[in-house]
Amino acid sequence: MIELKEVSKKYGGRKALDGLTLTLPQGKIIGLVGENGSGKTTLLKLIAGLLTPDSGRATYGGSKITRKIASNLAYMPDTDLFYPCFTVNQLFDFYDTQFADFNPIKAKEIAQFLAIELDSKVKSLSKGNRGRVKIATTLGREADYYLLDEPFSGLDPMVRDDITKGLIRFTDPERQTVIMSTHELKEMEPLLDEIVVLREGRVIAHEAVDEIRDTHGKDATTWMVSLFREGR
């Protein structure tokens, strides 16, 4: 379980996270939503051990989160960080040398499912196919947590649909958690178990999708919009 208690993070004089408290259990698909600048990317980087909080405490399994968490957690940034001269197959070979939990057989199965040619060079791929490769390399790890920063940004509906199907097929809902930041809440709602809403570096809501429908009588997008209109 990942827990954050009263976590704050500043960039210069601007607070990206402001006393944020959040618990993220295993076995869920969680959407992280909010306006631009609400702290979503900073939160994911902090959970991934790439940033250290200025105050507060961030723990995984009761231990302080450090860069060592990378052995239990797969982080996919919103930018491409691949060596462009690699083929997809060479990229998988490289990941296999970097992460003990990387499963090249699984990665190639995902690539086949997403219609990616293994001998294609990364630099020759379209943006949509690079998005598919990012998902294949990330889900190719047998991690406890997958952190995905805007995995659908700029991708066409067909690619988004393929990635959604990949998330369902190649993760274990009993033991693995997917946490993804997204602006595509309406599209993603059927996939999500829980939604965390950020505003100005704080969690203003964290609810199960079923509870939103049953208790509030709204779909997740309408519910989120109402939160912001109420000024929470």
161: domain CATH number is 3.40.50.300
* Residue 106 φ then ψ, to 5°: -65, -45
Q: Domain tally for the chain?
A: 1
* Residue 56 φ then ψ, to 5°: 90, -175
3-state secondary structure of 224: helix
Other Cβ atoms closer than 10 A to 146 = 23
pLDDT, position 26: 86
* Residue 15 φ then ψ, to 5°: -85, 120
Domain of residue 163: give its range.
Answer: 2-229
> Between helices 127-139 and 104-113, what is the axis angle to 10°?
150
Output the six-digit token pair for 223: 């519910």
Task: List, as one string, the DSSP characters of 80-138.
Answer: --S-TTSBHHHHHHHHHHH-TTB-HHHHHHHHHHTT--TTSBGGGS-HHHHHHHHHHHH
Which residues does residue 181 pair with via DSSP β-bridges, in sequence order? 32, 149
pLDDT, position 232: 58
Mean pLDDT by 10 residues, the chain (232 residues): 96 92 92 92 95 95 89 88 88 94 96 94 91 93 94 82 88 91 84 93 94 87 82 61
Amino acid at 61: G
Which residues does residue 194 pair with via DSSP β-bridges, in sequence order? 30, 208
